[in-house]
Amino acid sequence: MDGKIGVLALQGDVSEHIAAFEQVIRERQVNIPVVEVRLPGDMEGLIALAIPGGESTTFMRLIDQNGLREEIRNFSGGIFATCAGMVVTAREVKDESRFAPLGIVNTVVNRNAFGRQRESFEADIPVAGIASPFHAVFIRAPVVELAGPDVEPLAVLPQGIVGLRSGKHLILAFHPEIGGDLRLHHLFLDGILSLPRPGA
């Protein structure tokens, strides 16, 4: 199959995202390279792009410094964004004046909805599209407080939306790349690849 999966390698748990997608590709028995993305030229040939967690202000500064803002905004493939990725892909970030997000997904995000690092937590949460609850790891996690009509909520907590789909994009407040449960990676690729996964 033509195309590659890119992982934005500016900060965050890049190696964990690469390992997770490589495992999913092996399970689906397809030959798709997973590559690091640091510069605009690295976007060539991608069918999907993962945006890891990290510190959103730093993330946006590095995206702009590396000339990636318009490349990501105009990307026609699917985006798999986690934690800070939910913040940088939003239309608006609540009470944030230091950077302008990418505006890819029609959402308003509260970037530290659960507090600081010490309020990080884990929870088993229902997620639409997978059969049983997902053990989610939240680290200084954001939530979506407002979402447009083109956004499909997949997981909701009292604070707001923590998982959503918008077109080909899958946006999550938590970290599915750690813990070994790759069902959300498969769910994402179901919307990208024409070949069904074995056993699906």
Residue 36 known to be catalytic: no
Catalytic residue among 71, 169, 177, 185: 177
Reported in sequence order, the residue ranges of 17-57 that DSSP labels E, i.e. its strands, are 34-37, 46-51
> Can you read off the two tokens belonging to residue 4?
């590659």
- Measured CA to CA in angstroms, residue 196 lies from 27, 92, 113, 129 at distances of 11, 35, 36, 15
Distances (CA, A) of 95 to 15, 120, 127, 156: 31, 21, 28, 22
Catalytic residue among 71, 83, 96, 169: 83
For the packed helices 14-28 and 183-190, what is the interaxial angle rounded to 10 degrees? Answer: 70
In this structure, what token pair is assigned to residue 172? 């999550």
Active site residue 185: no
Point out the catalytic residue in the list 17, 169, 175, 185. Answer: 175
Is 175 a catalytic site residue?
Answer: yes
Helix (H/G/I), strand (E/B), else coil: 168: coil
3-class SS shares of the chain: helix, strand, coil, % to 5: 25, 30, 45
Phi, psi of 20 (to 5 degrees): -65, -45
Residues annotated catalytic, as ranges: 83, 175, 177
